[in-house]
Amino acid sequence: VHADPDLPGPALPFDPPRASIAVLPFANMSPDPENEYFADGISEELLDVLSDVDGLKVASRTSSFAFKGKDVNIGEVARTLGVAHVLEGSVRKQGDKLRITAQLIKADDGFHLWSETYDGDLADVFELQERIARAITDELKVVLDGGQQQRLVPVATRNTEAYALYLQATGIFNRRDAGRYPDAVTALEEALRLDPAYARAHSRLAALHAIRPSVDATI
């Protein structure tokens, strides 16, 4: 008996690595809708941190953020990105108060493996990210060794306003929003005025200056 070539074949089994995850853009639950950049920034920071964990496969930012603002099934997201788990959540920033809610979802059945709400001041932002990253690696049984046993999330700056400005500029940079590049440069320059030793702000500013000539030439 020959198979009919016009009929669809059997669905391929979905079997991604167990230690794999996609970080979806966190929802902005702040009273000010302009704080969306901060929620996006927290998502991106967690994604970057988890990407550095040995043995953990993390979907890229471009792939994960393609689902921003879309009402999609978690199983569909996981199958599209080839991951076994999905992290989603929300960020509420009001003044110096911060609340981050995160849920780790097992893609094959949609059940929550872990869910937690973290409250703190803006000054606690790196510690909150550290606690979330640790909870994820613990739940996925990722073995940490070397320096990863000490800390996953570095304290990039002690100046919370400089950090917020960095996230604002990073959002513009990641979206390649050329029309707002001057705003990103201004934000980073102010961040460096507040904390001249902020290495990541220096790096982001250098990257913006490097790509602006080619971008300006296309406008």
SS3 content of the chain, % helix, strand, coil (to 5): 50, 15, 35
pLDDT of residue 167: 93
Q: Output the tens digit of pLDDT for each of the chain's 219 residues.
A: 444 555 554 455 677 888 899 999 999 999 888 889 999 999 999 999 899 888 889 999 999 999 998 888 888 999 999 999 999 999 999 888 999 999 999 988 888 888 999 999 999 999 999 999 988 888 887 755 555 556 788 888 999 999 999 999 999 998 888 889 999 999 999 999 999 999 999 999 999 988 876 555 444
Rounded to the nearest 5 degrees, what angle is found at the Cα of 31, between the Cα atoms of 28 and 33? 55
pLDDT of residue 217: 45
One-character DSSP codes across 129-182: HHHHHHHHHHHTTPPP-GGGGT-SS----S-HHHHHHHHHHHHHHHHT-GGGHH
CA dihedral angle for residue 128, residue 33, residue 180, residue 97, rounded to 10 degrees: -30
